Amino acid sequence: MKLFLDTANIEEIREINRWGVLGGVTTNPSLVAKEADDPERVWKEILTEVEGPISLETTELEPEAMYQQGLDLAQMAPNAVVKVPMTPEGLGVGKRLTDEGIKINVTLVFSPAQAILAAEIGAYIVSPFLGRLDDVASDGMDALRTICDIYEIQGYDTLVLAASLRHPMHIVESALAGADIATMPFAVFKQLVKHPLTDAGLEKFLGDWKALKQELEKGA
Ligand code: E4P
């Protein structure tokens, strides 16, 4: 399972990219708006920083305008993936873009039925939102498991991207469910690496090493 960052903040992206595990980035209009900068500049910086797929979301609702915007976003860089919403218009435009050889990510997916539609238009990625389902007392992980099972049974090539993840166990369970990608905020990415026993173990190892050095220096 590839690990993506769900952010438009270049500093967060650079920090995680240094770990060598960053597979790609997902952005959405809310995340880009948080940067309070020209969206094109924000997207370009991310597209250059990370080699993997970078999702850039359309904001037009009228099909022709959404299609033109999709074409513009796609030509920004070879690793650009165009996000379209799970609506009748988004599906129609997504199919047209896919037919042009453009990689699309169908976003705002909340049910297995919607995920089937995304696969049927040949989407590159489908994004079920787990956390937002949990927020309305539904079971996001159960929806993800069902989507992964259906894709396996049907032999769909569309990659399942577990989105709206809120804590490390969301990532662990997404991997177990068979998701191809998990995208998460910076704070959750940082939680993945942390374990109190790692910190305690390192402190002890370094303490013992320092004590050895001091002993040797005394004896010299
Ligand atoms: C990713 O593509 C989605 O836009 C994102 O994961 C949504 O997450 P949120 O529910 O935390 O806003």
CATH number at residue 70: 3.20.20.70
In a domain, 118, yes or no: yes
Ligand 1 mean position, distance from CA 108 (Å): 8
Give the total number of structural domains in the chain: 1
For the chain, first and last CA: distance in Å? 52
Residue 28 near ligand 1, beta carbon < 6 Å: yes
Cα–Cα nearest to 69, from 90, 41, 48, 99: 90
In a domain, 208, yes or no: no
In a domain, 210, yes or no: no
Ligand 1 mean position, distance from CA 129 (Å): 7
> In sequence order, which residues have a C-beta less than 8 Å from that of residue 121 and are 6 or more positions away?
91, 94, 95, 98, 104, 106
pLDDT at residue 43, rounded to an integer: 98
Residue 159 has pLDDT above 90, yes or no: yes
Q: Which domain range does residue 37 map to? A: 2-195
Residue 26 near ligand 1, beta carbon < 6 Å: yes
Percent of the chain with pLDDT over 90: 99
Using CA atoms, how far apart are residues 81 and 64, in angstroms rounded to an integer?
18
In a domain, 209, yes or no: no
- Which amino acid, one-letter code, is at 54? I
Residue 164 near ligand 1, beta carbon < 6 Å: yes
Residue 29 near ligand 1, beta carbon < 6 Å: no
Cα–Cα nearest to 134, from 87, 82, 105, 174: 174
> In sequence order, which residues have a C-beta less than 8 Å from that of residue 56 and are 6 or more positions away?
27, 43, 73, 76, 80, 81, 82, 83
* 163-186 per-position pLDDT tens digit: 999 999 999 999 999 999 999 999
Residue 183 near ligand 1, beta carbon < 6 Å: yes
In a domain, 176, yes or no: yes
Using CA atoms, how far apart are residues 60 and 83, in angstroms rounded to an integer?
11
Which amino acid residue places its CA nearest to atom 6 of ligand 1?
164
CB 29 within 8 A of CB 208: no
pLDDT at residue 72, rounded to an integer: 98
Ligand 1 pocket test target in 46, 183, 188 with most atoms within 8 Å of CB: 183
Give the position, in ligand 1's atom list, of the atom nearest the Cα of 135.
Answer: 10
pTM confidence score? 0.96
Q: Over the chain, what is the mean pLDDT?
A: 98
In a domain, 168, yes or no: yes
- The single residue of 2, 34, 44, 83 carrying the catalytic annotation is 83
What counts of helices (H) and strands (E) characterise the chain?
A: 11, 8
Cα–Cα nearest to 177, from 200, 147, 216: 147
Using CA atoms, how far apart are residues 143 and 130, in angstroms rounded to an integer?
8
Residue 220 has pLDDT above 90, yes or no: no
In a domain, 220, yes or no: no
In a domain, 30, yes or no: yes
- Residue 83 bears catalytic tag: yes
If phi > 0 it is left, if psi is from -120 to 50 it is alpha, else beta; for residue 114 that is: alpha
